[in-house]
Structure 1
Amino acid sequence: MFRIRTAILCTLLALFLLLPLPAHAASSAATRAIDDEDIVTQDFSGQDLREAEFSNNQLAGANFSEADLTAVVFNGVDLTGASLKNVDMTGGMAYLSSFAEADLSGAILTEAMLLQSSLRDATVTDADFSFAVIDKDQVKILCETASGVNPVTGVDTRDSLGCP
């Protein structure tokens, strides 16, 4: 079942990347770029950060607990040791970002794309990674300590990662 799901996701990702899509003008309301100058605190807990874009930010140890990170983009962001407890990162994307030693307890990362991102020593107790795209080596690392059931979605963490 895991291999079939992975094959389907890879096929859809390939189609998404290869087929041209119609261009749409982005509005400032749809996407909010967060620059280092905009960050006056490392406490984003409980905030509505839907569709925000973080790029090359230094957010090691930041607090995102209970934040709405739906469709957020982390591009080259250092989130080492950050708290992402109980965040909803559905449909989010992280590319070349570090979640090393981050706390993702209770997080919902369904359909998230965590590409070339480090999840070394991250806490993923009760997290839901259903249909997430994660590098194979990172899944292996997460499966070593993954446990629990997400309290919102009712999904077993190990099952959502496809752990053996």
Structure 2
Amino acid sequence: MNFRQEKTFQILVSLVFSLIVYITGIGAITALIFTNATPTLADEYNKQILVGVDFSGRDLTSDSFTKSILRKSDFTNANLSGVSLFGAHLEGANLEGANLSYSTLDNASFNKANLTNAILEGAFAFHTQFRGAIIDGADFTDAFLREDTQKELCEIAKGINPITGNDTRDTLFCD
């Protein structure tokens, strides 16, 4: 093969390879469209306005909600374990039965949020606000809270978490 034939052959091989990749990609997209399947990729909801959105019952463990506005959103029975809610605004949100264990909640606002039976085990919530929140049956085992926030929560703490069996007051080390 001379140089010209070799170059033509390389171009042809490259075009065939590109065509195969293109057809494979189109096939995958077509399969997703016609089977209603969705790829399992993490969703980033960072810095988004998501007021009143329904996330109830969803597995959100790979997602991130950093600095999002989530007022009055529904996270009932959602799995938010390990999720970042850093600086998020969850005023009036429903997190009843939600799993927030090992999540980053620092600088978030849960004012007037419903955290009934929520699990916050190991959550980092040092500069988090809970004013007017409902925490009946919430489990704060090993949650990292400021002392003044812990005292505020103790004033309203009651109930036993139905999943962990832990008393809310005990998990907050209330007197």
TM-score interval, normalised by the smaller of the two chains: 0.7 to 0.9
From 53, 56, 61, give the equivalent of 1:50: 61
From 136, 144, 153, give the equivalent of 1:133: 144
| Partner Cα distance (2:52, 2:143) in 1 | 29
Q: Which has the larger radius of gyration?
A: 2
Structure 1 unaligned regions, length at least 5: 1-28
> SS where residue 74 of structure 1 aligns?
coil
Give me the identity figure in percent: 36
| Partner Cα distance (1:97, 1:38) in 2 | 14
**Residue equivalent to 1:102:** 113
Structure with a larger share of its residues in strand: 1
> SS where residue 73 of structure 1 aligns?
coil
| Partner Cα distance (1:46, 1:150) in 2 | 18
> SS where residue 68 of structure 2 aligns?
coil
> SS where residue 33 of structure 1 aligns?
coil
| Partner Cα distance (1:112, 1:146) in 2 | 17
Q: Does 1:91 align with 2:99?
A: no
Distance 1:130 1:102, change over 3 A: same
Distance 1:100 1:61, change over 3 A: same
Structure 2 unaligned regions, length at least 5: 1-39
**Residue equivalent to 1:20:** none
| Partner Cα distance (2:66, 2:155) in 1 | 30
> SS where residue 47 of structure 1 aligns?
coil
**Residue equivalent to 1:156:** 167
Equivalent pair of 2:140/2:171 in contact (CA under 8 Å): yes
Equivalent pair of 1:120/1:138 in contact (CA under 8 Å): no
Alignment of 1:68-83 (within 5 A): 68-83=79-94
| Partner Cα distance (1:41, 1:142) in 2 | 25
> What's the TM-score, normalizing by structure 1?
0.77
> What's the TM-score, normalizing by structure 2?
0.72
Structure with a larger share of its residues in helix: 2
Instruction: Encode CA deviations 1:55-107: one digit per residue, 9 max, x unaligned.
Output: 22111111100100110111211101110000011111112110011100000
| Partner Cα distance (1:128, 1:76) in 2 | 21
| Partner Cα distance (2:149, 2:130) in 1 | 6
One-letter amino acid of the counterpart of residue 124, structure 1: I
| Partner Cα distance (1:35, 1:89) in 2 | 17
- Report the alpha carbon displacement of residue 30 of structure 1 after superposing the two structures with TM: 8.0
| Partner Cα distance (1:148, 1:162) in 2 | 14
